[in-house]
Amino acid sequence: MNLHISEEIEKLRREIEEHNYNYYVLARPVISDNEYDAIFSKLVELEKQYPQYASEASPTKKVGAIVIDEFRQVAHSVPMLSLDNTYNEEDITQFDSKVRKIIGGECGYCCELKIDGVSVALRYDKGILVKGISRGNGQIGEDITEHVRRIQSLPLKLKHEYDMEIRGEIYMPKQVFEKVNKTREEDGSEVFANPRNATAGTLRQLNTSVVRERGLRIFLYNLVDARSYGCDSQTESLKFLAECGLPVENHNEGNMNLDRVLKFWNEWNQKRHELPFDIDGVVCKVDNFNFQELLSSTSHSPRWAMAIKFPAEQKESLVENITLSVGRTGVITPVANISPVRLAGTVVKNASLHNFDNLYEKDIRINDFVIVEKAGDIIPQIVRSLPEKRSGNEKVVEIPAKCPVCGGETGKLSQDEVAVRCLNPLCEAKLKRTMEIFCSRQAMDIEGVGGKILDLLVDNKLISNLADIYYLKEEQLIPLPRLGQKSAKKIITQIAESKCRGLSNFLTGLGIPLVGHKTARDIASHFGNIERIISASQSELESVNGVGEEIALSVMKYFSQPSTKDMVKRFDSAGVKMFQDNELKSETLSGRKFVLTGTLVNYSRDEMKKIIESNGGIVVGSVSGKTDYVIAGENSGSKMDKAAQLNIKVLTEEEFFELLGN
């Protein structure tokens, strides 16, 4: 029986990794999302039921959220060198002449697309991913193992049990980059300049789940000591990596002469915009490894390779108008409407100016001539204005005192904030996106009510604020497109069931600026009911762990609006649960403060936090003299050292449950 279960689990793991490869690397899925989800759920269930077959190489390990304490330094086994680069054919020709002179004749080149991402080194032990290291200074990098483990396109287990080290590039797809920046702009956060910056920023997050949420991918291109695996050239090593099940960018070409290298570079300079990811050039390598060894390297870069970069494309245009858009959190964004120009393969008519500080810093006015480019070849942006071309007809755009959509009051949540927002929580421009948050899984979890249904409800004037969803009737939904009696009844049932989600979910769903799911949960736990939150002073709000001045002011401003107070009353009349159950299993840990560190074996950090809090304990983020216990898992960091200095007791998971008496 156990042998059968073990084989079934391994079969599902192989099947899922194969589907991941087809979907994320080849972009050729062979099953539907629903079929994939069913297979994945089956594996999750079997692994829960039979924990003795747990494996760090399971694709289910990509889903969990690991929060690391700090980045540890790791020495590279072989230095990660930089590449010499050029932007012109003359340098490429000189590079070819030097190569031929040293090796004494002609040689073939392998050309690959230069992925514009973040370099990484991966180590596999008997086919299992055991280490991921950032480039760092080329000699020493940082341990980002838990980050790379959450990259969907990277297998945690190879098709063969090799010990190997591979170098590659982590990147963010263009489409994902657009979504990430759109969300950040709507939230009033600073946008990323390009996909590479977004990737680097993601890999600096201590919460590794962000890697999966932001959809990072990876391509591998350099097998360390490739000849020991029977490869005599770069072209052969790329094929070998692909055979191992690793993601390899397939637009590479070997055995090329100089003319073909130049043609390859020029071709991809024209075609690069067709790719779903960003490239900033082509890498030309001497293909044969014997020749590479003969050419050797300097302390900075190999003599057998060169990066041939693409020139940036910029064009002049005219700002015909500057319009104002309103995002889901009310952030008002100035957008330049420009005379159409063709950039990076598409016609550009609009360019986001991000915020009013950026608008004034660059001194961009209506009727200005400006220089436009695409940031990362994706997001249109204005580089600078051309004041020398002004005629006197230019107009400066003022910060609006009223929302351009609803006419509500505008302002900033704090003096330090860049974003100007519409402060009316009932603004129509904010409603659809706010409703999406309200119905989402982390909030009220109303199954079946997503973007398309919400569009129908708002467009047909059935919803004008969040509370309206609890007053919908089945007969109102039946006539709507794509719905009917069965769907309408199911939606009404789901809406009714959501009334009992509790205060923390309710606060998350309100979409209060600067208040995410964790902050909402902390505020809910601290105050217990909505009335106490509404009447709380700034100092009372700031007494909540993780709530500072900006968040406190944001909460106060949100609940001070008369329209918000009316909406809360309607929620109450509808029977929505706006209080937090203590749900204490016991008071065994009452008042004791715990710090969690490292990777726990049997529980995620969130699960352990709930167990501690449900028994009266308190979980804090850092070790201090007021900490009672540190619960340590695998790969614990500096918190252990601090605990030792302060003579604070450190518990394993088992010792914690002994303390709990369970």
Pairing of strands 85-86, 305-309: parallel
| Phi, psi dihedrals of residue 30, rounded to the nearest 5° | -110, -5
Angle at 325 between CA 320 and CA 328, to 5 degrees: 165
Of the candidates 316, 315, 334, the one whose C-alpha atom is nearest the C-alpha of residue 324 is 334
Determine contact, residues 384/394, Cβ cutoff 8 Å: no
Of the candidates 354, 23, 333, the one whose C-alpha atom is nearest the C-alpha of residue 173 is 23
Residue 228 to residues 119, 162, 164, 458, Cα–Cα distance (Å): 23, 11, 10, 63
Which token pair is 41? 């759920």
Determine contact, residues 118/170, Cβ cutoff 8 Å: yes
- Amino acid at residue number 108: G
* DSSP single-letter state for residue 317: E
Which token pair is 179? 């979504």
Angle at 310 between CA 304 and CA 315, to 5 degrees: 165
Length of the chain: 662
* DSSP single-letter state for residue 409: B
Kindly name the residue from 114, 285, 374, 577 that is annotated as catalytic: 114
- Other beta carbons within 10 Å of 558: 20
- Known catalytic residue at 126: no
**CA–CA gap between residue 581 and residue 585 (Å, rounded):** 12
**CA–CA gap between residue 26 and residue 100 (Å, rounded):** 36
Strand ranges of the sheet holding 629-632, from the earlier edge strand across to the other edge = 618-619, 593-597, 629-632, 649-651
Residue 636 has, within 13 A of its CA and on its CB side, a CA count of 20
**Which residues belong to the active site?**
114
